[in-house]
Amino acid sequence: MVSSVLAAVVAVLAAAVPAQPTPPALPAASDWDYQLGGVSEPPEHVGIVARDRTEAPTRAEEGRYDLCCVNGFQTQPDEKRFWRQRWALVLKDGRGRPVVDQAWGEWLLDLRTAAKRERLARIVGGWTAGCAEDGFEAVEYDNLDSFTRSDGLLRARHATAYAALLVEAAHGVGLAAAQKNRAGWDGTRVGFDLAVAEECGRYDECDAYTSTYGDQVLVVEYRRVDFEETCEGFGEQLPVLLRDRDLVADGLREWC
């Protein structure tokens, strides 16, 4: 009797919680453009456009799919004042200096405790909600692999736990969530819906993404030799793009 009453209560509570909509999938048979270094008008054959969260989406013009790029695991170089006001959330070495991704001059975020991960997720979750309000369909959280550049201060488990919070934030506002890089890790374990793979052809990693996400993978290569090889191996299955590494607005663009 008790068990049947409990089951009835659980059923009522479950029915009272509105189901989250299924995050939108990538459109089939469409090219894509990666516009993080500046915005330009996409050509007609491009149906997927990725832009920084500070830029406006195409707002589904002609049925386009808009991907919002958020630096979720590191700081933007021009946001140092913002993060100095939240200094406890920046990863520091043994001498109290911020740990820097030397390639981009970005500070790594401190993911080592649950409390800090939750504080960071609230900040990044606010940016994610802004992406949804602006009209994007999906969000890409950049620098998921920043733990590999942390001099051993961060572990993969920290990144995984934090990624789960970010995916939850994306799904909570109706956005699909894209795993950015970290080949060989199954991001679907924390709910990622698709992947953005930089230079998977160059590093022989494209299979690692397709085995997890099927055709829900966006590939960008920065060297022509890698682009041509990736097109040969995956061009019929995936959107593959050749771009200049700085992704400038009027920079190099080619498609398979």
- Residues 133-185 have pLDDT tens digits of 999 999 999 999 999 999 999 999 999 999 999 999 999 999 999 999 999 99
Beta strands in 22-89 (DSSP E): 31-35, 46-52, 65-70
pTM here is 0.89
Q: Is the pLDDT of residue 75 over 50?
A: yes
CATH of domain 2-255: 3.20.20.70
Beta pairing partners, 101: 106
The model's pLDDT over 33-51, given as tens digits with 9 standing for 90+, comes to 999 999 999 999 999 999 9
Q: Is 126 exposed, middle or buried (0-12, 13-18, 19+ CB in 10 A)?
A: exposed
Instruction: Report domain extents, the chain.
Output: 2-255
Is residue 126 very low, low, confident or very high in pLDDT (cuts 50, 70, 90)? very high
